[in-house]
A and B are shown apart, each in its own frame.
Chain A
């Protein structure tokens, strides 16, 4: 997906899929014994040949919402990636480029003319037209649409009137011919294309289904169709999806006969790979070591578009004013925040609990992005308890009663409550390691309520600014576009730390101003913003995560990137197992 907001909504789900089952991690992989993990594409051996089926594994039961406009998590997304495609392509460097659709942008950046390829077919035989795209945009803008994607059409002129039921049509969409569509947006934004909804929905196939009934319709649940290389033939809810090749796929007939998408328990993953039951799956990080011992498995690593952080609560969300209020003095002292950063042995934790899989991060922009600031321009907050002690002493947090724990500058007991999510097998000792890191510099950090919280409970409490939440360990998904709007502005509900500043607001605005159509200017704005965040430490950025994808060596042609492990599956093929 090429959108920040989706990822944000997905963040909790992403968490289930990745951190839950494994554990976040960072750092360059130290190549241990066994086969060396290759990074992006698996080595290709021999000539591609047709035939065979592949089993793609997933660690938890899927919901079965097989339509891009409605799906919620990776569980369903992985199936969608086999059966359908967006009209644009996101490249490895996270820029959006033309795919099935190409476009021209007007001088004022407000009108786009899209042309789509001829001869792209739906799996029911229909040819793809722009009517199908228009239909998808209308479904998402519909007043009865209950899915999480409205943000991806709201920039279209007239979408708001349609969404509130005031208009029968979206005025900004105009079909010129079956292959040409004109779209007007309300304002010039440098990332319009990145945010725009790009999946078509077959209008004829969904004829007669009311938008509110769509999530439970046969068309979504039982017989989904797409324009991708594989089509669904059999769904066993929560257990498996059987797919066969779609011969009229517009890029050419797929080499594989079919794909079986099946749910397996993560605990068994190594044994299942060993037995050849699974051909490919994004593996939990804690299975890295055991999988790496298997000779017939290639482990591919890709940076994940998400980062783990430990946020400080600076205030609360004022629902009436729709704005944050920074009224909590607990973490107001910058040196306290920086000291807590220095006190954490992030690399040690990643090495210990995630097999070193993860990349330390100090700013919230993906290291894959063109907007990421070079590491030598920021403070990397290396593990340094001495420095942390020094900063705390300077800031006036001193141990007055000799119990080994610091009091606050006024001399009162200083206790910080920490919240985290229950997840993978290592979450518990991992959290304990962090708490002990802070205790080592005299900060009395305790687990809030004595236990990690279930994911939904955790996010609810953080979002509601529950008074007991002070320090919280969460995960955000990132988009390909570096614009921090949505998470970092003072009027963003998802600004969980409830932190902002004048400079912060200004820089974020500059990043999407008209001047920002100049790439160099925009880049400099984001460098400045990252420097600000790096010094202020409104949250401790822990690490960017690294995803590992295990692939049986019999499966060839696999390529992965930060966005997905399923790229052009029509090129996948099976090597003769002598």
Chain B
């Protein structure tokens, strides 16, 4: 199993390298200094630009520049933020926990609620409850996150005032449990909305899987053997229905990070998403590229984790992977 995990990890290295080359090329396309943020894009003095370019080694061949940048990036040095006047690595470090909290919470809500809803619907196909859940899921699935968020803000923050309006910290608390609780409360609504689309998709998926699996032979056998229906559902059907869901995890992380850009902006939630849009509109290229690279790596990592998990749950995959191309 470990061997499989390591192999899968090694297999993603070329992809990571290609991604880094792509980001590097994009950064080189940017005016100013997309790699290190050492050039002030507002300063057009040709003398300044020449001087700085020399100092930053922009006269060197591209390959050398790339390797130097990669080395720096690997050690967490992404240069200086032009907008915030601080190292990009530090800046991202400050904002990352909020976004991680948001995505983790979102995943939790998604998996929790889709599991429950999918099971209820899947166990009673055709019932009124099933139809209700399916309709709700279909409609939710169709509403873009963007619009769902507007509705949610209106209902929960403006009308009901259940949740605060913005910011990860409402009152100044010097750490500890209460601070964590405070952050959780602030992340709750954005996280729920962020996961809404996936919740709907998984509910529908799980329902279909459960309905299909219930008709399979092994279930009939189990029932014939006298195992109680609920035990059959919980032990056999659910397990088999859940396995494919794991493969979505990789894609989820990408969708969540992308979605968090919209959600964080809508909810005025200070995380990586708001940092990214602020960087884009302030032409803080070093931050932009670091975030892009980071999200790319996160997605690849998510895929690796998903594959490994899948392999662990379903040994056939491992064999297939070992046998040939991925």
Q: Which residues of A contact B (CB under 8 A)?
A: 60-61, 63-65, 215-216, 221, 234, 236-240, 242, 260, 262-265, 267-268, 271-272, 275, 277, 319, 422, 454-457, 459-460, 463-464
Contact = CB atoms under 8 A, between A and B. Distances in A.
A459 B40 CA distance: 14
A456 B85 contact: no
B96 interface: no
A456 B44 CA distance: 12
A236 B169 contact: yes
Given A61-B278, A267-B268, A464-B44, 5 more contacts: A63-B84, A64-B85, A234-B172, A456-B41, A460-B42
B296 interface: no
Contacts of A268: 165-166, 268
A463 B167 contact: no
A240 B281 CA distance: 22
A64 B44 contact: no
Contacts of A422: 281
A463 B281 contact: no
Contact of A457 (B168, B278, B283): B283
B284 to A, nearest CB: 10
B259 interface: no
A459 B85 CA distance: 20
Nearest to A241: B172
Contact of B270 (A61, A267, A457): A61
B174 interface: yes
Contact of A240 (B94, B157, B172): B172
Most chain A Cβ neighbours within 10 Å, of B84, B85, B268: B85
B97 to A, nearest CB: 12
B282 interface: yes
Contacts of A277: 165, 170
B86 interface: yes
Given A456-B41, A460-B44, A463-B44, A264 B86 contact: no
B73 interface: no
Q: Top 5 A-B pairs ranked by shortest CB distance?
A: A265-B268, A268-B165, A265-B166, A242-B172, A456-B283
Interface in B4-51: 41-42, 44, 46
Interface string B145-178: 0000000000001100100011111101010000
Tell me what chain B mostly uses at the interface: helix, strand, loop, or mixed: loop
A17 B284 CA distance: 18
B262 interface: no
A267 B149 CA distance: 14
B41 A216 contact: no
Contacts of A260: 172
B84 A64 contact: yes
A369 B64 CA distance: 58
Interface residues of B, number: 28
Nearest to A271: B165
Nearest to A266: B268
B178 to A, nearest CB: 15
Contact of A271 (B41, B84, B158, B167): B158
Which label, helix, strand, loop or mixed, suits the secondary structure of the A interface?
A: mixed
A238 B158 contact: no
Contacts of B41: 456, 460
B201 interface: no
B249 to A, nearest CB: 30
Given A238-B94, A239-B169, A464-B44, A64 B86 contact: yes
Contact of B174 (A60, A221, A234): A234
Interface in B89-147: 91, 94-95
Nearest to B172: A242
19 contacts: A61-B84, A64-B86, A216-B85, A236-B169, A237-B86, A237-B91, A238-B84, A238-B95, A239-B168, A263-B167, A271-B157, A271-B158, A275-B161, A277-B165, A454-B281, A454-B283, A456-B283, A460-B41, A463-B44
Contact of A262 (B44, B46, B167): B167
Contact of B42 (A234, A242, A456): A456
Contacts of B83: 63
Contacts of A63: 83-85
A221 B270 CA distance: 19
B270 A264 contact: no
Contacts of B166: 264-265, 268
A459 B44 CA distance: 11
A238 B42 contact: no
Nearest to B31: A460
Contacts of B268: 264-265, 267-268
Contacts of B158: 271
Nearest to B94: A237
Given A61-B278, A457-B283, A239 B174 contact: no
Contacts of B85: 63-65, 215-216
Given A64-B84, A456-B282, A238 B270 contact: yes
B73 to A, nearest CB: 20
A76 to B, nearest CB: 10
Contacts of A455: 281
A260 B85 CA distance: 23
A216 B282 CA distance: 20
B309 to A, nearest CB: 35
A108 to B, nearest CB: 36
A319 B47 CA distance: 12
Contacts of A236: 169
Nearest to A70: B85
A507 to B, nearest CB: 30
B86 A239 contact: no
Nearest to B266: A267
B182 to A, nearest CB: 12
Nearest to B278: A61
A446 to B, nearest CB: 24
A221 B91 CA distance: 13
Nearest to A76: B85
Nearest to A456: B283
Nearest to B284: A456
Contacts of A460: 41-42, 44
Contacts of B282: 456
Nearest to A454: B281
A184 to B, nearest CB: 30
Contact of A221 (B86, B281, B283): B86
Nearest to B98: A239
Nearest to A236: B169
B324 to A, nearest CB: 49
Contacts of B283: 454, 456-457
A474 to B, nearest CB: 15
A164 to B, nearest CB: 14
Nearest to B42: A456
Nearest to B86: A216
Contacts of B94: 237-238
A361 B130 CA distance: 66
Interface in B248-290: 268, 270, 278, 281-283
Contacts of A262: 167
Contacts of A319: 46
B242 to A, nearest CB: 39
A72 B44 CA distance: 18
